[in-house]
Amino acid sequence: MIDSFDLEEHERALLVEACRTVDLLSKLEEELRRDGVLVESPQGVKAHPAATEARQQRIALARLLAAMRLPQGEEGDQQVGARPQRRGGVRGTYGIRGAVS
């Protein structure tokens, strides 16, 4: 099915990583269903490590999907005057205004 799309090499790599992330999220969700979202630890009750990792993986998935620049809706559904998606890179670090470098 992927062959029906015209993907460049970097887009294919992003798609592969997005698929791997979805697979990992499925495994983490299975763990959470089995064990529950809270676990006992020597420090007391805390969030299951799989819950923390799932949150991080959801953030990674959102970033991967955003980097893929997927069109929204069907072809030709674009609103009149709608701006195309920007093709900028990943955001860098933020500096503190007024701070000395």
Global pTM value: 0.67
Asked, for residue 58, whether it belongs to a domain, the answer is yes
Asked, for residue 87, whether it belongs to a domain, the answer is no
Asked, for residue 99, whether it belongs to a domain, the answer is no
pLDDT (tens digit, 0 to 9) for every residue of the chain, 101 residues total? Answer: 667 778 889 999 999 999 999 999 999 999 999 999 999 999 999 999 999 999 999 999 999 999 988 777 666 655 555 555 555 555 555 667 666 65
Give the Cα-Cα-Cα angle 43, 49, 52 (nearest 5 degrees): 115
Domain holding 16, by residue range, is 2-68
Asked, for residue 97, whether it belongs to a domain, the answer is no
Asked, for residue 91, whether it belongs to a domain, the answer is no
What whole-number distance in Å separates Cα of residue 26 and Cα of residue 46? Answer: 21
What is the number of domains present in the chain?
Answer: 1
Asked, for residue 75, whether it belongs to a domain, the answer is no
Asked, for residue 28, whether it belongs to a domain, the answer is yes
Asked, for residue 20, whether it belongs to a domain, the answer is yes
